[in-house]
């Protein structure tokens, strides 16, 4: 038995057998392209995610241009983007919907799922649990390359003649199922589906690996209850993904059959202008919504949990205080992970859902407020009377808490089925999910990047640029999304091309212009961040301290620029949890320090 | 290579944990279960909404059930043969298992044609979701069986072509676990389609 185990383990390590002492033959290809080192794969996920963030952000700037200046003619845009996208200096209606759809898909899946958990699960899991690499470095590499291929397919859909898919990121049939219904549902939708299928495969490969690694590869002494909260969060994220992505996949398969093989899973009694009545009979479009939201709701926690984990870690490190309520944090993440599967129908209150069933989903949805409130309480009490160091990572972590509170409160409104009749599909929803999920998770990601950049690249980011980045982004995010609540309360629907033709929404013309201007400023600020990021990789201040933040977790016991295999000698042994800050008069006590005889209870 | 072994792998050798690849397979199985759970629940939801075609499943699906159950037995013997180093026997049993997998898929296909020929259109214009569901779910299951057949082939050729002799039975054990799983999955689907139509 033990022989076999050793054998398999050696197999997993063959790639980096001799990371110390001997000179390892590493080619450019095996080191930077088809790398099996979790740290390199993390960087690949991060940089691909950043490319997507720029593209997705640029799309939002473009459609905000239309919303803010519905009457203006930007003829220069036509020269850049071409006739399909811009006609007569105005974004075409087809292009508008295509932009909104791709923006949503890309930011949710490619940036905040692959870019966020792909990066930090890969980077932090082995380093923080004390493992040399993932359980299967090869599958890990595949996971990235499936994501990369998905990205290529998604990008290629921008260049087909009929345009990219244009039916919203939720891809509801019948629109998404019928090529005859809209140009955006033709080739663009086929490519969208292929890209998403590849993406699901990538997520599954990654997720299985993360779970296996956390459960099986922890170093000596690293019991589950000594894990940093980042690892718990990434673990729950992976579990959610492994259980919910297959259901989305099954929804996609039925959709593919409806599109290409004449079945009627989602289609019934449809009349298409110019085509006439369709033969499809017996299907139900609502069925897709069930399958979609069974993933779709857990997906918002797949996006949010990694940010929550990293924020917990960064807050505690920089407040120089133990995290408040460690077990409550783990328990509330567990509760969130379970409840995430039981609330999907809150996206479907107005689909004719049985009102009694609706009230059950209201109850379950509002129950999520309990673990969420516990987490918020614990973050605030961790900050309370802390000896706070306002590093850029810390600022973004605090920003996350602020956004999570503001965005979470509006969730309580939306969780009520009666209120949702008015609020559904309005800008109130846009405001809610952007603040609580979009921008908050972005803040978590920024916090993570600022905090772990020294470990990733052995250099620091520039602080001045970081502070500018933080303040403009925080203020900008509120200025962009806060006013959208008012628009939504006034009934302004989402996904519309031009509101200036509606008497009731004319009053928002100036507000829309204001939002668009802020959006452009915020976007420009992200370019500043990108500059800081890439400049610092090559020219940043060099890290000379092994543990620059005086942090307790294991990654800071590895060399400043760890090789493949992470620790040159033995993997350190763990003797305590990760949060002994300010204990017994000591500033911090790393997890590797044995418990002293005279030490107080821990 | 010897150095790899010398790397202190505290996490694995010191504790008696489940093999990581086996563990990953079990999670993969959980994930496949979720996909079929999604599809079969969709089936029930759709059925309750009416406009549903009722029909009996053809007898071929019972034959294929016998075949796949038989293949579960042969693969189990293959594992045993491998562990006893009875390589000739092992070779034969793996081959038989793979062939049974293909026969199973063929019989499913025969069942599909039977339905089609008896006025139950599976896909295309005028098909009822009841029949399309059966077709799509079973097709996905067949895909998983074919995946298993390919895994068997890979293991088979690896074991005999590589210069390094492997004495680890882990690959064939993984394949056997997966094979039993697709077998059970089919039995679940059969009972499901038999009872809920
Ligand atoms: C500067 C930052 C951003 C701005 C200005 C922005 C703006 C917008 C606006 C105005 C819409 C609604 C368009 C419409 O319904 O007509 C929208 C949709 C959407 N955004 Fe953003 N967004 C930003 C960042 C993000 C982020 C970080 C995420 C990640 C979660 C995100 C995800 C989505 C999604 C999922 C939709 C819905 C798309 C659909 O209706 O199918 N956005 N965005
Ligand atoms: Cu939800």
Write down the pTM of the prediction: 0.90
Query: In the prediction, which pLDDT does A515 show?
Result: 97
Angle A392-414/A285-319 helices, nearest 10 degrees? 140
Instruction: Name the CATH architecture for the domain at A32-268+279-588.
Output: Up-down Bundle (1.20)
Q: How far is A262 from chain B, CA to nearest CA, in Å?
A: 4
pLDDT digits 0-9 by tens, A406-454: 999 999 999 999 999 999 999 999 999 999 999 999 999 999 999 999 9
Beta-carbon separation of A220 and B46 below 8 A: no
**Ligand 1 atom 32: the closest Cα is on which residue?**
A104
Give the residues across from A271 on adjacent strands. A277
CB distance B128 to B118 below 8 Å: no
Given a cut of 90, whether residue A585 has pLDDT beyond it is no
Contacts of A134 (CB under 8 A, 6+ apart): A38, A122, A125, A126, A140, A209, A210, A212, A213, A217
pLDDT digits 0-9 by tens, B84-118: 888 889 889 999 999 999 999 999 999 999 999 99
Beta-carbon separation of B27 and A570 below 8 A: no
pLDDT digits 0-9 by tens, A75-86: 899 888 988 899
- Optimal mutation site among A131, A214, A220, A246, interface B, most CBs of chain B within 10 A: A246
Query: In the prediction, which pLDDT does A16 show?
Result: 41
* Chain B positions in Cβ-Cβ contact with residue A281 (cut-off 8 Å): 51, 126, 128
pLDDT digits 0-9 by tens, A336-352: 999 999 999 999 999 99
CB distance A116 to A444 below 8 Å: yes
Query: In the prediction, which pLDDT does A20 show?
Result: 42
CA dihedral A113, A118, A123, A124 (to 10 degrees): 50
Sole residue written with tokens 């057998």 = A17
Select from 3.20.10.10, 1.20.120.80, 1.20.272.10, 3.90.470.20 the CATH code of B20-26+57-196. 1.20.120.80
pLDDT digits 0-9 by tens, A112-131: 999 999 999 999 999 999 99
Residue A484 CA: nearest ligand 1 atom is 10
| CA A8 remoteness from chain centre | 33
For residue A467, count CB atoms less than 10 angstroms from its CB and return exposed for 0-12, middle for 13-18, buried for 19 or more.
middle
Residue A174: asked if its preceding bond is cis (omega within 30°), the reply is yes
* Chain A positions in Cβ-Cβ contact with residue B30 (cut-off 8 Å): 242-243
Domain positions in chain A are 32-268+279-588
pLDDT digits 0-9 by tens, A465-488: 999 999 999 999 999 999 999 999
The tokens of A429 are what?
Answer: 């929803």
Query: In the prediction, which pLDDT does A25 show?
Result: 63
Domain positions in chain B are 20-26+57-196
Given a cut of 60, whether residue A21 has pLDDT beyond it is no
* Chain B positions in Cβ-Cβ contact with residue A212 (cut-off 8 Å): 20, 23-24, 27
pLDDT digits 0-9 by tens, A245-266: 999 999 999 999 999 998 999 9
Give the closest residue to A258 by CA, choosing from A170, A351, A155, A189. Answer: A189
Ligand 2 centroid–CA A300 distance in Å is 7
Query: In the prediction, which pLDDT does A19 show?
Result: 41
Beta-carbon separation of B38 and A247 below 8 A: yes
Burial A306-334 (b: 16+ CB within 10 A, else e): bbbbbbbbbbbbbbebbbbbbeebbebbe
The answer, for B44 touching chain A at a CB cutoff of 8 Å, is no
Q: How far apart are CA A591 and CA A571, in angstroms?
A: 13
Query: In the prediction, which pLDDT does B74 show?
Result: 96
What percentage of chain A exceeds 70 in pLDDT? 95
CB distance A589 to A576 below 8 Å: yes
CA atoms within 13 A of residue B170's CA, in its CB half-sphere: 20
What percentage of chain A exceeds 90 in pLDDT? 82
Residues within 6 Å of ligand 1 by CB: A 57, 60, 64, 100-101, 103-104, 107-108, 112, 168-169, 430, 434, 437-439, 442, 480, 494-495, 519, 522-523
């Amino acid at each position: 038995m033990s022989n076999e185990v050793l054998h398999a383990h050696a197999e997993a390590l063959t790639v980096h057998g001799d990371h110390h002492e001997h000179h390892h033959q590493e080619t450019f290809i095996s080191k930077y392209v088809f790398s099996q080192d979790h740290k390199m794969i993390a960087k690949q996920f991060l940089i691909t995610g950043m490319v997507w963030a720029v593209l997705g952000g640029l799309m939002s700037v473009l459609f905000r241009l239309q919303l803010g200046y519905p009457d203006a003619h930007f003829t220069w845009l036509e020269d850049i983007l071409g006739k399909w996208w811009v006609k007569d200096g105005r974004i075409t209606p087809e292009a508008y919907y295509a932009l909104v759809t791709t923006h949503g898909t890309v930011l949710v899946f490619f940036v905040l799922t692959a870019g966020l958990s792909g990066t930090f699960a890969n980077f932090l899991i082995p380093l923080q649990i004390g493992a040399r690499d993932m359980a299967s470095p090869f599958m890990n590499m595949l996971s990235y390359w499936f994501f990369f291929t998905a990205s290529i397919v998604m990008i290629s859909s921008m260049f087909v003649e009929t345009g990219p898919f244009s039916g919203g990121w939720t891809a509801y049939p019948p629109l998404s199922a019928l090529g005859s219904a809209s140009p955006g549902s033709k080739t663009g939708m086929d490519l969208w589906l292929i890209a998403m299928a590849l993406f699901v495969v990538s997520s599954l490969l990654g997720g299985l690996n993360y779970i296996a690694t956390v459960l099986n590869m922890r170093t000596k002494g690293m019991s589950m209850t000594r894990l940093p909260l980042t690892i718990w969060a990434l673990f729950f994220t992976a579990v959610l993904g492994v259980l919910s992505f297959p259901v989305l996949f099954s929804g996609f398969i039925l959709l593919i059959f409806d599109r290409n093989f004449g079945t009627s899973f989602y289609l019934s009694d449809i009349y298409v202008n110019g085509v006439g009545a369709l033969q499809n009979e017996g299907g139900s479009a609502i069925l897709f919504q069930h399958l979609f939201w069974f993933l779709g709701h857990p997906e918002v926690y797949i996006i949010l949990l990694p940010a929550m984990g990293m924020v917990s870690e960064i807050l505690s490190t920089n407040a120089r205080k133990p995290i408040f309520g460690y077990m409550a944090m783990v328990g509330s993440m567990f509760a969130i992970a379970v409840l995430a599967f039981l609330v999907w129908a809150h996206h479907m209150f107005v689909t004719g859902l049985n009102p009694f069933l609706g009230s059950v989903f209201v109850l379950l949805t509002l129950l999520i407020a309990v673990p969420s409130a516990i987490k918020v309480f614990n973050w605030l009490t961790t900050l309370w009377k802390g000896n706070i160091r306002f590093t850029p990572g810390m600022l973004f972590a605090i920003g996350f808490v602020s956004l999570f509170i503001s965005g979470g409160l509006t969730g309580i409104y939306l969780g009520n089925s009666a209120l949702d009749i008015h609020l559904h599909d309005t800008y109130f929803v846009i405001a809610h999910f952007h603040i609580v999920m979009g921008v908050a998770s972005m803040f978590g990601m920024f916090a993570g990047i600022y905090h772990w950049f020294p470990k990733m690249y052995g250099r620091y980011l520039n602080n001045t640029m970081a502070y500018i980045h933080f303040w403009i982004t925080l203020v900008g995010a509120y200025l962009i999304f806060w006013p959208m609540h008012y628009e939504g309360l006034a009934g302004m629907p989402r996904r519309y091309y031009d509101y200036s033709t509606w008497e009731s929404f004319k009053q928002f013309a100036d507000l829309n212009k204001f939002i668009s201007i802020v959006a452009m400023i915020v976007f420009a600020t992200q370019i500043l961040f990108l500059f800081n990021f890439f400049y610092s990789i090559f020219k940043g201040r060099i890290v000379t301290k092994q543990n620059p933040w005086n942090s307790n977790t294991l990654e800071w016991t590895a060399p400043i620029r760890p090789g493949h295999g992470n620790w040159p000698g033995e993997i350190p042994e763990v003797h305590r949890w990760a949060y002994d800050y300010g204990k017994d008069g000591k500033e911090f006590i790393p997890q590797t320090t044995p418990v002293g005889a005279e030490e107080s209870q821990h | 290579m010897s150095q790899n072994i010398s790397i202190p792998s505290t996490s694995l050798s010191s504790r008696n944990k489940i093999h990581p690849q086996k563990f990953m397979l079990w999670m993969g199985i959980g994930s496949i279960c979720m996909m079929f759970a999604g599809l079969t629940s969709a089936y029930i939801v759709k059925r309750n909404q009416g406009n549903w075609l009722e029909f009996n499943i053809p007898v071929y699906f019972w034959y294929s059930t016998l075949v796949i159950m038989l293949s579960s037995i042969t693969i189990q013997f293959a594992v045993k043969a491998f562990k006893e180093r009875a390589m000739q026997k092992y070779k034969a049993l793996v081959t038989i298992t793979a062939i049974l997998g293909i026969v199973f898929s063929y019989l499913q296909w025969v069942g599909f044609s039977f339905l089609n020929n008896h006025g139950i259109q599976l896909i295309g214009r005028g098909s009822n979701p009841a029949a399309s569901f059966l077709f799509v779910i079973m097709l996905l299951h067949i895909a998983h069986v074919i995946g298993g057949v390919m895994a068997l082939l890979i293991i088979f050729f690896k074991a005999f072509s590589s210069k390094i002799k492997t004495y680890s039975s882990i690959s064939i054990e993984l394949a056997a676990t997966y094979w039993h799983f697709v077998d059970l999955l089919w039995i679940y689907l059969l009972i499901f389609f038999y009872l809920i139509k």
